[in-house]
A and B are shown apart, each in its own frame.
Chain A
Amino acid sequence: MTEAEQPLIQIQELTKVFYTDEIETHALSGVHLSINKGEYVAMSGPSGCGKSTLLSIIGLLDTPTAGRYFLNGKTVENLDFAERSRIRNQEIGFIFQSFNLIGDLTVYENVELPLTYRQKMPAANRKARVMEALERVGMAHRVRHYPSQLSGGQQQRVAVARALGGKPSILLADEPTGNLDSRNGEAVMEFLQNLHREGATICMVTHDPRFAKHAQREVHLFDGKVVAEEELKKLLQETSA
């Protein structure tokens, strides 16, 4: 396989079980998924079907109970905490539903934050990256502001800039519009689409079918499994009946 053909993310037979108070929750049960470079994938499904769990495993925030996961062709199961941190920092950009900006830091510092965890990056270089990212989201004029001084839409744009600043291989977004009104939500979606056109790989969780349409490909999750769209419809009808 040449590099262009190799999927960026390849997941096989992935399961995740949570144990709480002797209750086993099978959040994921046998998921297969691959995402190629430059793809824009939307993940949808009803609440509690395992979307966030899958995304957190893809983002190396969590580890699967069983199954295989190759990132850039390399298996990630045996990495230690420090190596996982390094990969998160360099390969993955996160956009969270609740923005997760740090209130004590200015817009500039928030965007700079992941870059400060890179040992070898010169300060000048860092500054250039931060400003570039902030310009892309149209927030360069707000560098000295604190998150509390921004609107929700603006905060999410800063969060996107933070994800972009590290020039990651893939952007992971978990319901990025969940805390936004529809106008601001549209704006963020549009922005992600622009990024995709410029070559970014994106994996976005949403349960809003309108936004899912923005993506190249839609993956449906139901009860911890990937299902085809027709099957999903059938399943949904069964459950509502």
Chain B
Amino acid sequence: MSGLLQDVRYALRQFRMSPGFTAVSVLTLALGIGATTAMFTLVDRILFRSLPYPQDDQLVSVGVVAPIIDGEFLFAANYLGWRDQQTSFVGFTSSTGVSDCDLTDDHPVRATCAAVASTFLPTLGIQPLLGRNLTREEDRPDAPKVALLTYGLWQDRFGGDRDVVGRAISLDGQPTRIVGVLPRDFEFPRLARTSILVPEALDESIVQRHEMGTVVRVFGRMKPGASIEQTKAELQPLFRDFVESAPPPFRKVLRLQVRSIKDLQVHDSRRAAWLLLASALAVLLIACANAANLVLARSAGRRNELAIRSTLGAPRVRLFQQRLTESVLLALMGGACGTGLAYVIVQAFVALAPVGIPRLSEAAVDGRVLLFAVLLSLASGIVFGTLPALEKPTVQMLVVKTMVGTRGARLRQMLLAAQVWMAVVLLASAMLFVRSLLRLETEPLGMNPANIVAAQITLGQQKYSGAAERLRFFEELERKLKELPGFASVALSDSLPPTPPARTMPYVAVQGEGQPSLGPEQGIGGVVGWRAVTPEYFSVLGIPLLSGRTFEERDRAPGAYSIILNQALAQQMFPDEKALGKMVRFHADRAELAAPFTVIGVTGNTQNQGLGGQVGREYYMVRRHTEDDVIFHFPGSQRVSIVVRSALGPQTVALELRNAVKTLDSTLPVEVSTLSESVAKLAERPRFSAALLSLFAVVGVLLTALGIYGVVSLLVSQRTQEIGIRVALGATTAEVTRMMVWQASMWVGFGAAAGILGSLVAARWIGSLLFGIRANDPATLAEAAALLLVVALFGAWVPARRAAKVDPMVALRYE
């Protein structure tokens, strides 16, 4: 015990005597532990967190994948059939989705309602916190309306009142009874923000009437022990029936999909999350290599001391213990600082993070991760710190005073090279991400979003249940907005680029005049998007007209059938001729699409697949002044986007817009932002990844520089004698500096070369996450390596310059 105390005291004295070494070691460990713990904490929310459903590994999302709809789905009729016939699931449920709804009591607010089957909560294994689940009887079209509140809404709107169950509220103008409150950790499986659960109330009679019904999302709980493959195989007969019932062109492109809910949630962020995790690990390894290197370098300088102690009869165990004490103390100090750092980083990134990362805001530094990081650094400190104590002291070590030198340098230099190697890979990846982000943000959109204010309005179901009410609102809105001073340029659309059009049509159903129709072997030919717009849409957004004209008032009159194509569609539909003036026919069983449409114009392409997507084929219909207009025959016609180009400031425009809407309907929420803002928002995720990765790259590079600095500093102090001799023999400042830098740089260069190779390997992995830049972009890789070389050499140069100031008089001393 007194031995331990003595060791601790001795170690503390050692730290005091070499404050530089101690500071660099602790800083290194703190950065490594802090950054890694923070990153893991953040990524853990995405990759490894368990879902708030019991036995969540049994839960799957089931459906058919078809090009017209995003993600797996079934039609209501299929779902009802599968529900009754399937034998693979112990629970089988569906949701028609999440949509806006209004709490229309005295103080109306917009909420989001998830419409689900009565089997939804039991399948997920969720018990309401208060009240009860929906019953089968309530899940019918004609049943009295009921709802379950989420915990958040219950708290915010009802003050957490436990008597809320049984109370009647007005939901979209209809009296609705609250039957329960959901637990706090309730989460809709598709992660949509939800505040109310209502019955989806599918009309089961559609099956008899041979109608498809609406699109539903289906979830199942597999039997315990069943695998996804097995379940998928069991569903094949049902899937085959589905395929046979589909229109022939679709049959080839349909696919059955069964995947875990976790997969469903993270499929697009998984790769990025793993990449971030790998980068955190790389930083930790760099830090450990750093610490090891410092400890090794110092041990080399203390061989003499060790040898003397050993000759004085100190048992090897004691020497070992003493080293161990030092290493453990260092790791503990680093761990303490690292914990603090981790908290700071997590806070900063939670503040920065985009929405849609599940429960990131609840992220807290994970104790297990912290422990792991501390243990790893401890282990590296112990291994490298005690290695020298295990070496048998030889007489050679006692006579080093007759010569000076550096031994055991090979291992240190290899560690240095390994650090540089990892740092280059990190830096190259981060640079690729940043460049990709820059390309994404400066991607030509095919329109000019500057000075445009965009607003989104969704009409409530109750007040605007039919085409007549919706049309009246839209018409009045358009008129009102055009009357506003300074609102010369205003247009309505159902959706805005660069988000994809709200509606799509299979290409096979859109036939150009004089063009052959697609053969059955060509399937549906993909989908074509379309938007319903007012005539000013193109001028407001600055979408260039390539030929013909844009819509005019006369195109909105009854009997006028005009259509505008984007360049991509025009080129595909009419590859060898001018599209202008041609007829386009729709093969759809819809009266409103029966007449042929005349192509009156072709516009430039706008980015319409989100940022960084391939520009898709698209056409435009004009919004007519009739309730029989085509838009009212498609779902989603209650939604409208307004765009205003105005010289007035965005704040003024927003205010005027809100006021105008208020005069029409004072309860209607309006979301207003500039178009540039909403475009920028689309790049949030890649920006988040790029920011995280850059942080780690910077930490990695700093650590590497710090490591080189520390090692060269120690070398300089240990080689004072040698340097003094060289100076005595006539070496100049420049020569000494160059020598010290050169010795470090050889291995740095080696590491940098390995780093380029490593980046090429990593490229295969990150390629799909990048936009507009190849993952093996030679310029980026070369720059990353060069940047690291410069930083590393600077790290070596600073202490090397000190070497040149060594007093040559040391050559004359011989203690």
Q: Which residues of A contact B (CB under 8 A)?
A: 52, 55-56, 59, 61-62, 81-82, 85-86, 88-90, 94, 96-104, 113-114, 117-118, 147-148, 152, 155, 162, 166, 174, 179
Say whether B732 faces chain A, with CB atoms less than 8 Å apart. yes
Within the complex, the shortest CB–CB distance from A77 to chain B, in Å, comes to 17
Q: Per a CB cutoff under 8 Å, which of A61, A155, A162, A174 touches B402?
A: A155
B734 to chain A: closest residue by CB:
A82
CB atoms of B730 and A62 under 8 A apart:
no
Q: How many residues of B contact A (CB 8 A)?
A: 27
Chain B, range 724-768, C-beta contacts under 8 Å to A: 725-733, 735
CB atoms of A101 and B732 under 8 A apart:
no
Q: How far is the CA of A90 from the CA of B732 in the complex (A)?
A: 13
A100 and B811 in contact, given A90-B730, A94-B728 (Cβ under 8 angstroms): yes
Q: How far is the CA of A72 from the CA of B406 in the complex (A)?
A: 38
A89 to chain B: closest residue by CB:
B730
A117 and B402 in contact, given A52-B812, A56-B812, A61-B812 (Cβ under 8 angstroms): no
Within the complex, the shortest CB–CB distance from B396 to chain A, in Å, comes to 6
CB atoms of A96 and B403 under 8 A apart:
no
A102 and B722 in contact, given A117-B731, A117-B732 (Cβ under 8 angstroms): yes
CB atoms of B812 and A147 under 8 A apart:
no
CB atoms of B812 and A179 under 8 A apart:
no
CB atoms of A100 and B725 under 8 A apart:
yes
CB atoms of A174 and B732 under 8 A apart:
no
CB atoms of A85 and B732 under 8 A apart:
yes
Say whether B157 faces chain A, with CB atoms less than 8 Å apart. no
CB atoms of A98 and B814 under 8 A apart:
yes
CB atoms of A94 and B814 under 8 A apart:
no
Say whether B405 faces chain A, with CB atoms less than 8 Å apart. yes
**B729 cross-chain contacts in A, Cβ below 8 A:** 88-89, 94, 113-114, 117, 162
Q: Per a CB cutoff under 8 Å, which of B725, B727, B735 touches A102?
A: B725
Q: List 14 A-B contacts (CB under 8 A).
A: A56-B812, A61-B728, A61-B811, A88-B730, A88-B808, A90-B730, A94-B729, A97-B814, A103-B405, A104-B722, A113-B729, A148-B399, A148-B403, A152-B402
Within the complex, the shortest CB–CB distance from B744 to chain A, in Å, comes to 15
A100 to chain B: closest residue by CB:
B725
Q: Which 3 A-B pairs have the closest CB atoms?
A: A89-B730, A103-B405, A98-B814
A61 and B808 in contact, given A96-B814, A99-B403, A100-B725 (Cβ under 8 angstroms): yes
CB atoms of B725 and A82 under 8 A apart:
no
**B402 cross-chain contacts in A, Cβ below 8 A:** 98-99, 101, 147, 152, 155, 179
Within the complex, the shortest CB–CB distance from B242 to chain A, in Å, comes to 77
CB atoms of A174 and B812 under 8 A apart:
yes
Within the complex, the shortest CB–CB distance from B392 to chain A, in Å, comes to 17
Q: Which residues of B contact A (CB under 8 A)?
A: 396, 399-407, 721-722, 725-733, 735, 808-809, 811-812, 814
Q: Per a CB cutoff under 8 Å, which of A97, A114, A147, A179 touches B730?
A: A114
**B405 cross-chain contacts in A, Cβ below 8 A:** 102-104
Within the complex, the shortest CB–CB distance from B6 to chain A, in Å, comes to 30
CB atoms of B727 and A85 under 8 A apart:
yes
A61 and B730 in contact, given A99-B403, A117-B735, A152-B402 (Cβ under 8 angstroms): no
Q: How far is the CA of A128 from the CA of B468 in the complex (A)?
A: 106
Within the complex, the shortest CB–CB distance from A51 to chain B, in Å, comes to 11
**A85 cross-chain contacts in B, Cβ below 8 A:** 727, 730-732
B405, B407, B812: residue with the most chain A Cβ atoms closer than 10 Å: B812
Q: How far is the CA of A103 from the CA of B409 in the complex (A)?
A: 13
Q: How far is the CA of A81 from the CA of B726 in the complex (A)?
A: 14
Q: How far is the CA of A101 from the CA of B725 in the complex (A)?
A: 8
CB atoms of A147 and B732 under 8 A apart:
no
Within the complex, the shortest CB–CB distance from A230 to chain B, in Å, comes to 30
Q: How far is the CA of A102 from the CA of B406 in the complex (A)?
A: 10
A96 to chain B: closest residue by CB:
B811
Q: How far is the CA of A114 from the CA of B406 in the complex (A)?
A: 20
**A89 cross-chain contacts in B, Cβ below 8 A:** 729-731
CB atoms of A113 and B812 under 8 A apart:
no
B726 to chain A: closest residue by CB:
A113
Within the complex, the shortest CB–CB distance from A153 to chain B, in Å, comes to 12
**B407 cross-chain contacts in A, Cβ below 8 A:** 103
A55, A103, A118: residue with the most chain B Cβ atoms closer than 10 Å: A103
Q: How far is the CA of A113 from the CA of B729 in the complex (A)?
A: 8
A88 and B726 in contact, given A96-B811, A96-B812 (Cβ under 8 angstroms): no
Q: How far is the CA of A62 from the CA of B813 in the complex (A)?
A: 13
Q: How far is the CA of A117 from the CA of B804 in the complex (A)?
A: 14
Q: How far is the CA of A176 from the CA of B601 in the complex (A)?
A: 100
**A147 cross-chain contacts in B, Cβ below 8 A:** 402-403
Q: How far is the CA of A71 from the CA of B723 in the complex (A)?
A: 25
B402, B729, B735: residue with the most chain A Cβ atoms closer than 10 Å: B729
B399, B401, B407, B814: residue with the most chain A Cβ atoms closer than 10 Å: B814
Q: How far is the CA of A97 from the CA of B814 in the complex (A)?
A: 8
**B403 cross-chain contacts in A, Cβ below 8 A:** 99-103, 147-148, 155
CB atoms of A81 and B396 under 8 A apart:
no
**A103 cross-chain contacts in B, Cβ below 8 A:** 400, 403-405, 407, 722
Within the complex, the shortest CB–CB distance from B711 to chain A, in Å, comes to 16
Within the complex, the shortest CB–CB distance from A15 to chain B, in Å, comes to 17
Beyond A61-B811, A98-B402, list 10 extra A-B contacts (CB 8 Å).
A61-B812, A81-B732, A86-B730, A88-B729, A94-B811, A98-B401, A100-B728, A103-B403, A113-B726, A113-B729
Q: How far is the CA of A100 from the CA of B405 in the complex (A)?
A: 11
Q: How far is the CA of A222 from the CA of B406 in the complex (A)?
A: 40
Within the complex, the shortest CB–CB distance from B804 to chain A, in Å, comes to 9
A174 to chain B: closest residue by CB:
B812
A56 and B809 in contact, given A94-B728, A102-B725, A147-B403 (Cβ under 8 angstroms): yes
**A62 cross-chain contacts in B, Cβ below 8 A:** 809
Q: How far is the CA of A103 from the CA of B808 in the complex (A)?
A: 18
Q: How far is the CA of A98 from the CA of B730 in the complex (A)?
A: 18
Q: How far is the CA of A162 from the CA of B728 in the complex (A)?
A: 12
Within the complex, the shortest CB–CB distance from B709 to chain A, in Å, comes to 22
Q: How far is the CA of A114 from the CA of B731 in the complex (A)?
A: 8
Within the complex, the shortest CB–CB distance from B742 to chain A, in Å, comes to 13
**A97 cross-chain contacts in B, Cβ below 8 A:** 814
**B721 cross-chain contacts in A, Cβ below 8 A:** 100
**A52 cross-chain contacts in B, Cβ below 8 A:** 812
A87 to chain B: closest residue by CB:
B730
Within the complex, the shortest CB–CB distance from A69 to chain B, in Å, comes to 17
A156 to chain B: closest residue by CB:
B402
Q: Per a CB cutoff under 8 Å, which of B400, B722, B726, B809 touches A61?
A: B809
Q: How far is the CA of A94 from the CA of B735 in the complex (A)?
A: 19
CB atoms of A88 and B728 under 8 A apart:
yes
B735 to chain A: closest residue by CB:
A117
Q: How far is the CA of A55 from the CA of B811 in the complex (A)?
A: 12
Q: How far is the CA of A102 from the CA of B405 in the complex (A)?
A: 6
Within the complex, the shortest CB–CB distance from A206 to chain B, in Å, comes to 15
A117 and B401 in contact, given A62-B809, A96-B812 (Cβ under 8 angstroms): no
Q: How far is the CA of A107 from the CA of B408 in the complex (A)?
A: 20
A61, A85, A101: residue with the most chain B Cβ atoms closer than 10 Å: A85
B727 to chain A: closest residue by CB:
A85
CB atoms of B811 and A81 under 8 A apart:
no
**A174 cross-chain contacts in B, Cβ below 8 A:** 812
Q: How far is the CA of A99 from the CA of B399 in the complex (A)?
A: 12
Q: How far is the CA of A94 from the CA of B730 in the complex (A)?
A: 11
